[in-house]
Structure 1
Amino acid sequence: MIIDLLRMRLHALNDLSLTLKHVHWNVVGPHFIAVHEMLDPQVDRVREMADDAAERISALGGVPEGTPGVLVTERTWDDYGVGRADAIAHLGALDLVYTGIIEAHRAAMTEVGKSDAVTEDLLIEQLRSLEQFQWFVRAHLESSGGTLATANSHTERQAAHDAQPNDTP
């Protein structure tokens, strides 16, 4: 069971690293350089997290599957749905992506914490970085009063739309 939970975390982290690079390549607009440069360190750290998860799977006697075909076959989420878009739109969508990954990591952490403190610790460490990255994203989406533009968004496309200022077509 722990290996299965880690396997899904590995898929999620591999998917996240690819999604972050996709955004890095497809972000445009006045906030381009800030977002473009913010994402590369996130990609690097997420790739390290994927490596750590894969190595833990191996240490537990499992076989980490890192191929795109296995990821697509086994994942429980859809592909990232935003192409070339304004930086704020991408950040709105990424906020939802991070929320999904963080929630699933927390659920896995809670489950493995019942029997495997080492894997629990690994997930806690990863959550620390994932939550920080979401904070970086949300800093672009929050008003000074703390209102999050994507608070009522349920899909990436909706979040991308909701993140845009009202005067943006």
Structure 2
Amino acid sequence: MSVQDSADVIALLQMRLHSLNDLTLTLKHIHWNVVGPHFIAVHEMIDPQVDQVRAMTDDLAERISTLGGEPHGTPGALVADRTWDDYSIGRAEAIEHLGALDLVYTEIVKDHRAAMQATESSDPVTQDMLIEQLRGLELFQWFVRAHLENSGGRLSTDRAATEQAAARQAAEQARDQP
């Protein structure tokens, strides 16, 4: 791998590392702040996701080091480099958190797929790692979406552009169901 290709891959991986570190914190935030009748189901669904996402961050950091980079895992580095806002839902019903979390996963999966495609020719080893991580991330999103879909496959958060809107739409659909 050329020095330039390695530097490009390291930069991609660093942003993925920030994204998944942020996801870990967001998942724990949801775990601590979920309430309502589906509390225990969501509370217990989240911790295995946290554990697996933490393992993904370790793989990313080790790949950065393997390529000659220095992984930056501090909160300050994450905040300085990220291009997204903090998760915006506090203490809320399970369905509201799941609506917002679906949007979080959508963005993470989209960005992970872009990184996967960007490494196709320059670093198939990194691409393979990203593909495996995508398998897990998409599975977690499916777990979340199973709570948000009706029997016809329509998501309650369809067309929501913000976490707040997704939370509101998910709550409205839950209230409207018999």
Per the normalisation by structure 2, the TM-score is 0.93
Partner of 1:45: 52
The CA deviation string for residues 3-57 of structure 1, in whole angstroms up to 9 with x for no partner, is: 0000000000000000000000000000000000000000000000000000000
- Paired residues in the alignment total 169
- What per-residue deviation string (whole Å, max 9, x for no partner) do you get for residues 50-84 of structure 1? 00000000000000000000000000000000000
Instruction: Find 2:90's aligned residue among 83, 89, 93.
Output: 83
What CA RMSD, in Å, does the superposition of the two structures yield over aligned residues?
A: 1.2
Instruction: Tell me the CA shift for residue 151 of structure 1.
Output: 1.2
Cα deviation per residue 1:100-133 (whole Å; 9 max; x = unaligned)?
Answer: 0000000000001121000000000000000000
Structure 1: how far apart are the matches of 2:74 and 2:9?
20
From 13, 17, 23, the counterpart of 1:16: 23
Who wins on radius of gyration, i.e. which is larger? Answer: 2
Letter paired with 1:34: A
Provide runs of 4+ in structure 1 moved above 3 Å.
165-168
Pick one of 131, 141, 147 that aligns with 1:140. 147
Equivalence for 2:76: 69
Aligned amino acid, residue 121 of structure 1: D
1:57-136 aligned within 5 A? 57-136=64-143
TM-score of the two chains, using structure 1 as the length reference: 0.98
Q: Is the 8 A contact 2:156 2:173 kept in 1?
A: no
CA distance in 2, matches of 1:132, 1:166: 23
Q: 1:2 aligns with which of 5, 9, 25?
A: 9
State the one-letter code of the partner of 1:54: A
Measure the CA separation in 2 of the matches of 1:48 and 1:113: 23
Structure 1: how far apart are the matches of 2:156 and 2:98?
10
Partner secondary structure for residue 52 of structure 2: helix
